[in-house]
Amino acid sequence: MTTNSERNLSFEEIVEIRRREAEFERDYGFTGKASPAYVPMTPDEEFNTTTFGPLQHAPWHRPNDTVELTERGAEQDRFAGAWDMAVGDINSNAKGSGARANGDKVPMDLIPVSVWRNKWRVAMSQSVDSEQLMDIMYALAKWQEGEYKPLDNVLSFNCLEGACRVFEYGAKKYAAWNWAKGMQWSVPLGCALRHMQAVLDGEFIDEESGLPHIDHVFSNIVMLDYFEIHYPEGDDRPIFEEYNT
């Protein structure tokens, strides 16, 4: 949400301010600016509430841009098969070239995490791992909305041995530490959501890797947590504007 002091700033200036605040908070434990203490709602308080508002603007569309609706042309056709293409370049050492095989997987990251969280609430409550699953979805929702601590908390209170096995599998499939080069944040987010859906559908093991879906979820959360510091350029989260401001 844009604050009063930011309303006359450009999109790039706001992003830079948020990035610096996030780094300052990670280093010193507070934002460094005068503001009332923030008391987050509990997960139960947030269910059945609107946790996101209309898009104010996104990196690919500035508020003053003129959008023209035209007939489908060569440029649109060029991207028609984007979901069949791999992400990044396995042979490159360039920052941001982390490779992932996207295939034709459903782009679940295009729907806000808070919507998935409400949709899956009943299924999560009926799972033997309900508390863990709810914690994960709560953290991902708050992370997408701009908070910088939820992912740290999830990783701190869960075993990551299974995630290590997933990274080991990834090192064989791609290359060791390939993922750490960075990629758009929506890539691991979408992957985490797809594996979470598989868990809630009653599928324990990922058919391709032979490893538990939940371990894939944690490995993608590790990536997102790492990218916040080491690849902020990949932040393609939408900027939400609350309905009541």
Alpha helices, H only, 41-185: 43-46, 74-78, 113-119, 121-125, 130-144, 150-156, 161-173
Q: Which two tokens stand for residue 160?
A: 């990551």
Phi, then psi, of 240 in degrees rounded to 5: -95, 145
pLDDT tens per residue, range 57-104: 334 333 343 333 334 344 334 333 333 336 888 888 899 999 988 778
Radius of gyration over every alpha carbon of the chain, rounded to an integer in angstroms: 19
Q: Is 170 helix (H, G, I), strand (E, B) or coil?
A: helix
Tell me the domain boundaries of the chain. 40-240
Position 101 scores a pLDDT of 84
Give me the tens of pLDDT residue by residue for the chain, a chain 245 residues long: 555 555 667 767 777 777 777 666 665 555 544 333 434 445 444 454 334 443 333 343 333 433 333 343 443 343 333 333 368 888 888 999 999 887 788 999 999 999 999 999 999 999 999 999 999 999 999 999 998 788 999 999 999 999 999 999 999 999 999 999 999 999 999 999 999 999 999 999 999 999 999 999 999 999 999 999 999 999 999 876 554 34
Q: How many of the other CB atoms lie within 10 Å of CB of 238? A: 17
CA distance 245 to 242: 6
